[in-house]
Amino acid sequence: MSKLIKPEGYSPILDLRETEQAIKMIKDCFQANLSSELKLRRVTAPLFVLRGMGINDDLNGVERPVTFPVKDMGDRQAEVVHSLAKWKRMTLAALNIEQGHGIYTDMNAIRPDEELDNLHSLYVDQWDWERVMSKEERSLSFLKEIVVRIYNAMLRTEYLVSEMYPQIKPCLPEKITFIHSEELLQLYPNLTPKERENEITKKYGAVFIMGIGGKLTNGEKHDGRAPDYDDWSTIAENGFQGLNGDILVWNTVLKQAIELSSMGIRVDKEALLRQLKLTGEEKRLELQFHKCLMNDVYPLSIGGGIGQSRLCMFFLKKAHVGEIQASLWPESIREECAKNGIPLI
For residue 216, give every residue at least 6 positions away whose Cβ sits within 8 Å of its Cβ, in sequence order, or none. Answer: 181, 182, 185, 222
> What proportions of the chain, in percent to the nearest 5, are helix, strand and coil?
35, 20, 40
**Strand pairing report for 102-110 and 40-42:** parallel
End-to-end CA distance of the chain: 19
- Residues with catalytic annotation? 57, 111, 126, 246, 259, 262
Q: CA 113, CA 116: separation in Å to the nearest integer?
A: 9
- The residues that bridge with 264 in the sheet, in sequence order, are 244, 303
- Using CA atoms, how far residue 272 sits from 35, 75, 148, 179, in Å, is 28, 32, 26, 24
DSSP string, 173-209: -SS-EEEEHHHHHHHSTTS-HHHHHHHHHHHHSEEEE
CB neighbours of residue 105 within 10 Å: 22
DSSP string, 36-93: HHHTEEE----SEEETTSS-S--TTS-PPPPEEEEGGGTTEEEEE-S--HHHHHHHHH
